[in-house]
Amino acid sequence: MSSESLQIIKKKKRTKRRILISQILIVILFFCFWEFLSNKKIINPFIFSSPSKIWNTIFSLALTGELWGHILTTLYETILAFGIGITLGFIIAILLYELPILAKIIDPFLTMLNSLPKVALGPMILIWTGANTKSIIVMALLINLIVSIMNIYNGFLGVDPMKLKLLQSFKATKYQILKYLIIPESMRTIISSLKINISMTLIGVIMGEFLVSKKGIGYLIIYGTQVFNLTLVMSGILILIILSFLIYECVSYIEKKLSKNR
Amino acid sequence: MNNLLEISHISKNYITEKEEIEAIKDITLKVEKGSILTIVGSSGCGKSSLLSILAGIDQKTSGTFTFSCSNPVIGYMLQSDSLFPWLTIYENAILGLIIQKKDTKENKEYVKKLLSTYKLNDFMDKYPNELSGGMKQRVALIRTLALRPDILLLDEPFSALDYQSRLAISDDVYNIIKKEGITTLIVSHDIAEAISMSDKVVVLSKRPCKIKKIYEIHLTDKRTPMKNRQAKEFNDYYNKIWKDLDINV
């Protein structure tokens, strides 16, 4: 490699490092500034809390073991709702694709459901399914399922008509068309819908936990509000930020792995 | 004369919510066994629909077509190569066999033989995006030939390629078709390609397309399509067909 290209690579690496350093600096400065304002009573420490108090709260929660229970509960609910959502979404999308009349009939209802703020259904779900994990899962499914169906179904519709014609000229059956063309060709859309789905699921789970739960990060936040312990609320939010970031990164990793094989 | 396919009085109308569009009107045609016949017509006329009807994908409105052999195997090749990017070249080539459940050892060997005959054996385990446009077209042809068709239907087979590859691949395809001795029906809008490849050129009128004229192509010293373009009769045919097509720009 020429020295010029080495120089360019070096420059690119330097820019990358600079970006990372700036990002870390922003986080550190943000927390320092917050701590400072709270310490000097420039902002009300009871309402706005402070990073050190939040740290202590998280630390003691972790020590008693309570923290892991909350995280695991939220994680379990999210993964369960995510799995059910993707599976059901896939099956329903296939049904809609194979039965275009059905798709046309339910199209306006899907749109209606999609635009409805699902949280409005929360109290009703609570009464129907009872105050337990079930209603949290249902809440999350309400939010992620319709998006999944629409994404996967649109992926199916986007299949190259020429390839479809080719298989028809081979006299392929509907099942063969699905197996050899529709599903593999729309794999990319399906995989990228995973990312949207996981964010949606997390929203649904936290909303569900706000409404009913006895455990989970959503519960931690809502409990903190009820006892007016804002440090606890903010600890919950901070944990949630980290958790959702990690989950998102996991799905991105899976997406990358899956699309690499293609 | 030994005709493999006889088309008589085929018409095709498309019905939309607003109107009925006549795409094909009363086409009667005989395709001789082992010959190459090209149908030319301006773009937008229903010439592709005719192939779809023969391939059994589309329904005709009226008329009949009959093959001289019973249960003819029809090989249909479309404008784009339509290779599946997630399958290797070999897997693409045997796709038709798999779908028709004819993927016997013998047939698979036949595909491998075709791939190596047409200089693709080094690419069997590669994916389509690693191949040039002309190579992909060859794979698409082999995928069709794998079924051992009695008749080949080619729908603007080279239109997705650039001019140079087009010339080269039409030579390739011509040689393959002639070597395997397969009756072929081509639909094209390229007059030069039609004259250089076929034994017979059928000129269609604008929509609704009817047969305007049929030319038997007799070139002195008939060789490959590329060399045929140098035959002294070539220009004569070209000018006649150009006039028939009545292209107004």
Can you tell me the ipTM of this complex? 0.83
How is residue B23 annotated by DSSP? E
Asked if B80's CB is within 8 angstroms of A167's CB, the reply is no
List of residues 6+ apart from B17 with CB closer than 8 A: none
SS3 state of residue B114: helix
Report the distance separating Cα A32 and Cα A52, nearest Å.
Answer: 10
Asked if B84's CB is within 8 angstroms of A163's CB, the reply is yes
Asked if A171's CB is within 8 angstroms of B99's CB, the reply is yes
Torsion of CA A236, A241, A245, A247, to 10 degrees: 30
Q: What is the pLDDT of residues A216-254, one digit of tens each?
A: 999 999 999 999 999 999 999 999 999 999 999 998 888
pLDDT at B95: 94
Q: Which of chain B's residues have a Cβ under 8 Å away from the Cβ of A162?
A: 78-80, 82
The pLDDT mean for chain B works out to 84
Report the Cα–Cα distance between both ends of chain A, in Å, rounded. Answer: 30
Q: CB B248: neighbour CB atoms within 10 A?
A: 6
Asked if A169's CB is within 8 angstroms of B74's CB, the reply is yes
Amino acid letter at B168?
Answer: A
Mean pLDDT of A176-195: 88
Chain A to chain B Cβ contacts (< 8 Å)? 44
Mean pLDDT of A176-183: 93
Asked if A163's CB is within 8 angstroms of B57's CB, the reply is no
Mean pLDDT of B190-208: 83
- pLDDT confidence tier of residue B133, bands split at 50, 70 and 90: confident
Asked if A180's CB is within 8 angstroms of B80's CB, the reply is no
Q: Which residues of B4-14 are buried (b: 16+ CB within 10 A; e: fewer)?
A: bbebeebbbbe
Residue of A168, A172, A262 lying closest to B86 (CB–CB): A262
Report the distance separating Cα A15 and Cα A216, nearest Å.
Answer: 40
Q: Which ranges of A3-121 would DSSP assign to H, the alpha helix?
A: 3-39, 45-48, 51-64, 66-98, 100-115
Asked if B100's CB is within 8 angstroms of A171's CB, the reply is yes
Q: Using a CB–CB cutoff of 8 Å, tell me whether A40 touches chain B.
A: no
Topology annotation, domain A51-260: MetI-like fold (1.10.3720)
The architecture CATH gives domain B1-55+181-249: 3-Layer(aba) Sandwich (3.40)
Q: Where are the beta strands (DSSP E) in B189-238?
A: 200-204, 211-216
pLDDT at B249: 52
Mean pLDDT of A177-203: 89
Are A84 and A137 within 8 A, CB to CB?
Answer: yes
In chain B, domain spans: 1-55+181-249
Which residue from B minimizes the CA distance to A161?
B82
A262 vs A149, residue with greater confidence: A149
In this predicted structure, which of A79-88, B102-111, B160-169 has the lowest mean pLDDT? B160-169
Q: Which of chain B's residues have a Cβ under 8 Å away from the Cβ of A262?
A: 85-86
The pLDDT mean for chain A works out to 91
Q: Which of chain A's residues have a Cβ under 8 Å away from the Cβ of B95?
A: 170, 180
- pLDDT confidence tier of residue A26, bands split at 50, 70 and 90: very high
Report the distance separating Cα A238 and Cα A113, nearest Å.
Answer: 31
In chain A, domain spans: 1-48, 51-260
